[in-house]
Amino acid sequence: MATLFTRIIEGEIPSYKVAEDSEFYAFLDINPVQPGHTLVVPRREVDYLFDLGADELGRMMAFAQGVAKQIQSVTHCRKVAVLVLGLEVNHAHIHLVPINTEGDIDLKHKLQLPAEEMEQIAASLRAARL
């Protein structure tokens, strides 16, 4: 059975797409800890990030680097934090979270942004493709 993220990639479940290429897909986290919080996933279903081959993992990080630059350009954050959690969905993924202080990441406090704001953030990030 396809994972939640595969269903998002295939368009069965709507998402706020930020970027994509033939191997990877980036979209806004539906419950962000900060506006611009983005998930990067491989199109190929792999349960655990470190089960990816070294070359594929390298390409995923390079893709994530481009997305992080988009996030930083749009949100004007100091840095983009990278988190690898991966217990909620059995599909490898990286969280990219814009931060100005380490306290900006509180995984117990997630935002519930209106759909219009999510779409505006996603559109700004897509337009910032660097």
pLDDT digits (tens, 9 = 90+) for 36-88: 999 999 999 999 999 999 999 999 999 999 999 999 999 999 999 999 987 88
pLDDT at res. 1: 78
Taking the complete model, does pTM exceed 0.85, yes or no? Answer: yes
pLDDT (0 to 100) of residue 67: 97
Statement: residue 30 has pLDDT above 90: yes
Active site residue 76: no
Sheet containing strand 24-28, edge to edge, reads 17-20, 24-28, 38-42, 94-99, 79-83
Q: Is the pLDDT of residue 111 over 90?
A: no
Beta carbons of 72 and 98 less than 8 angstroms apart: yes
- pLDDT value for 85: 86
How far, in Å, are 37, 42, 92 from residue 128 at the CA level? 15, 21, 25
Q: What's residue 6's pLDDT?
A: 96
pLDDT score recorded for residue 130: 58
Q: What is the pLDDT of residues 3-17, one digit of tens each?
A: 999 999 999 999 999
Domain 4-127 has CATH 3.30.428.10: yes
pLDDT at position 110 is 85
pLDDT of residue 40: 98
The catalytic residue among 37, 91, 93, 95 is 93
